[in-house]
Each structure stands twice: as C-alpha cells, then as structure tokens.
Amino acid sequence: MDKIVIRGGRKLRGTVRISGSKNAALPIMAAALLGDGPSRIRNVPRVADIRTMSDILSSLGARVDFPKPHEVVIDPAGLSNPTAPYELVSKMRASICVLGPLLGAIGKARISLPGGCAIGSRPIDLHLKGLNQLGASMRLSHGFVIANGKRMRGADVFLGGRFGSSVLATANILMAAVKTPGVTRIEGAACEPEIVDLARFLQAMGARIGGVESHSLRVEGVRRLKGVDHTLIPDRIETGTYMIAAAITRGELFLKGARADHLRAVIEKLQEAGVWVEARAGGIRVNGAGARRVVEITTHPYPGFPTDIQAQMMTFMTVSPGISVITEKVFTERFMHVPELNRMAARISLEGSSAIIRGVRALSGAPVMASDLRASAALILAGLVARGETTVDRIYHIDRGYEDIEGKLKRVGAAIERIR
Ligand code: EPZ
C-alpha cells in the first residue's frame, strides 16, 4: 500500500492549479445518462472516484471514454442494466446518485444500499422519500433499493432533514424530475455550487429548471434531453485545502482557477484567524505570514462553512495560539482525524459534536493513518508543519478526491514523497 512521507517545516510558495470539482463531476456524469446522445465533460479531475463512477456507468451499459486526461465522454445509448452492484457502491457512497437518472432514463433502478462509512451512518431516507413523493415505488430487498418510476408525476417534494438539506438527495430528485411529466417543486433543496453546476448541465441539455441557487427548485418535465458539452467548476474543497496549506506553513500561494465566490465562509474564517486572502482575476492569493488569532467555527450546508474543510481547518487551529472551537453540524461524528492529530502532539478534546483545540507551539511528526478523504488531507497539512517526519498510511483515501496532491505540494516547496 502507498504511503506519503513528509518532512515538515518548509514554507510553501508559488502557484497551484486547482482541478475540476470531484463532487460536481460525479452527479453530472450520472446525469449524462438522461441525454439522447453523448455528453462531453471537461475539467474532470484525475481521481479514483471518477474511475469508480465510470465503472458504474459502464456496468449499466453506457459507453465511457476518456479522450484526454481531463475529459470524459459518456454515451448513454446502450443503457439497459438498472443494477448498481455492491462491489462498486461499497467503494464509493456517491454511487447512489445514479438512482435518480436511472429512474428518469429507463424507469427502473436497483441500487445496492451504501451502508455506513468513516464519517458516520449516512442514511438515504431523504432520497427515498423524495422519489416516493414523485410517485416512484420503492422496496428494499437483499440489501438493494429496488425502484420503479413508471408512474412518476411532477409533485411537491420536501427535502429538509435533521441536519439541513442533502446534496445528493437534491441531485437525485432533480435528475429524476427533469424528464417526469408535470411540475415538480423541491423545497429544502441544497444550493451547493455542485448542485448549481448540475442544474446548469441539465438546463443545457434542455431541462426546464427554475430557482437555481435557491432552496426552492421548480422543474417542468420535458420529454427529451440532448447530450451537451460542459466544463466543470473548480473544486472548492481542494481550493480550501491549499488555502490552509499556505496559511499553516506561513507561506504564500496563488490558487489558479479557484473561485472565491464559492468559498466566502472559509475566506472569512481564515481572515478572522489572521490569514491574508485576496480574490484576483483567475484565482485566489493567500499569505499566512501574519499574526494568528483564535476562531470559532460551525459547519453548515452551503453557504455556511463546509464540513469537507472542517478537518483541514482543525489542523490549522492546532498550531494557532489560544483555544479554538469547531462544531460539526452536518456529519456530527466526523472526527476520525482527532486521535491521529493528537498522536502528533495536538491538544484536541471532543465534547459531543464540538472539538476544543488548544493551540500548541509545534506538532511532532509521527506515523499516522488516514481514515477518510478529508481526514487524510488534514494529516498531510499537519505533516507540512510538524517537526521531523510524518508518514501518512492508507492514502488510497486521498487518491479518491485530490489530484496529484504530492506533485502539487512538491512544486511549491514541500518536502513530500509517495512511497509505493
Ligand atoms: C455530499 O454528500 C458530498 N459528497 C460530501 O462530500 C459532503 O460532505 C456532503 O455532501 C455535505 O456537504 C458528494 O457530493 C459526492 P448530504 P451527501 O446528503 O450528499 C444527512 C467528500 O469528502 N442525510 O448533504 O451524501 C446526512 O447524514 C464528501 O467529498 C440524511 O439524514 O451528504 C448528513 O448529516 C464526503 N438523510 C446531512 O444529511 C439522507 O437521506 C448532509 O448530508 C441524506 C442525508
């Protein structure tokens, strides 16, 4: 198994090119199933989750080609098999986002239940409730959700859950509704930039969607959608991670292609913490040389502070003076990185869904274990500033969502190596 070895203490300087958004790419690749012809998607990140989605779409009968490293063409002409098998769904929970497109495209779906994962129990009740409100019949059998959408009609759907809106439930209902006769209103919809990108992709295909960027979507079903050419938005979570890399090493990075308008909450918190951030044409510049201050952060659905940057921000707080508090309100158990950071001499204690972080002068390099994608990024950030050597094991997690992280960090001055 590959490992990443980092020698801490180097300031990062230079330019990092931000990749296309993984979490926009996954539902948009699935949405390509709804077209009458092939769709071309550009700015696709080269990460393992994209390969998994490509395997799922191929197993359903679609043709998936990568004519260039960052471009995928999906031709749904051969789509016939409604089954997404356990082997693929268990690899990537986001596989659930083929449910809506399968119902919209062929009127049936058989998807293995994703089960739990390292960041919590992750139910899919809102996906099922929403599709049910559209008139799809759903049953659970031998670990599969079996859905029939032949009688789907436009309807009012409410997607507000215990923890706020759901990103992939919104994606699924939207994708199921665009070819369903009648008008569907989705209340409590997620409005993350990835959902907006999906809506723009569907609109280009010919879908009629109103209320994009709000919590209320209005969809008027159409009979046919065409294949289109679409360029994905930049990855805001990758951007946030490199912003923190600049901040924590007291370096300066220009994040080429990044969009500041997708990261307002993160930029505000970094500025509050003493980091200099400037949005420029074509990217974001970040400088971490200034004096640091403590912050309090609570994660929320967009436009709040994203749960996907919670772990990385926590690493930053471990070396900021004073006591910071981070409360996780989206995935309340997403703290697998805490014991690993504490092994590196961080001082973090957990009180329910809050982490209390007492800043230390320095972290101490150690062998640590990645548990999920963003936790792995947090450990790499810790390694960048820790005294001595840090080895991060199980880095297949990071390869799921960060394109060439060691290459990008190395080019701006980090002492980082992948050991195969
Ligand atoms: C998406 O997951 C992202 N994944 C996650 O990114 C991200 O952490 C999450 O949204 C929140 O922003 C992709 O886009 C592929 P949710 P999703 O449904 O849609 C609860 C990463 O690191 N909930 O918005 O699955 C749920 O338990 C990943 O890139 C229900 O209760 O997340 C959570 O508390 C990890 N019932 C909250 O809603 C449901 O049916 C928000 O989850 C669905 C969700």
- pTM score over 0.95: yes
Whether residue 119 contacts residue 331, with contact meaning beta carbons closer than 8 Å, is answered with yes
Q: How far is the CA of 192 from the centre of ligand 1 (A)?
A: 11
Q: What average pLDDT does this structure show over 300-328? A: 97
**Which pLDDT band, with edges at 50, 70 and 90, does 117 fall under?**
low
pLDDT tens figures, 323-359:
999 999 999 999 999 999 999 999 999 999 999 999 9
**Which pLDDT band, with edges at 50, 70 and 90, does 120 fall under?**
low
Q: What is the pLDDT of residue 119?
A: 61
Catalogue the active-site residues. Answer: 117
pLDDT tens figures, 126-136:
999 999 999 99
54 lines ligand 1 (CB under 6 A): no
The CATH code of the domain at 22-231 is 3.65.10.10
Q: What is the pLDDT of residue 318?
A: 98
300 lines ligand 1 (CB under 6 A): no
12, 176, 416 from 3: Cα distances, Å: 21, 41, 10
Structural domain boundaries in the chain: 3-19+234-419, 22-231
Q: How far is the CA of 124 from the centre of ligand 1 (A)?
A: 9
**Strand pairing category for 276-280 and 283-287:** antiparallel
φ/ψ bin of 72: left (φ > 0), alpha (ψ from -120 to 50), beta (otherwise): beta
40 lines ligand 1 (CB under 6 A): no
Q: What average pLDDT does this structure show over 190-201? A: 98
- Please count the CA atoms within 13 angstroms of the CA of 39 that sit on its side-chain side: 27
Q: What is the pLDDT of residue 80?
A: 93
Distance CA(287)–CA(245), nearest Å, equals: 10
Kindly state which CATH superfamily the domain 3-19+234-419 is placed in. Enolpyruvate transferase domain (3.65.10.10)
Looking at the CA of residue 96, tell me the nearest atom of ligand 1: 25
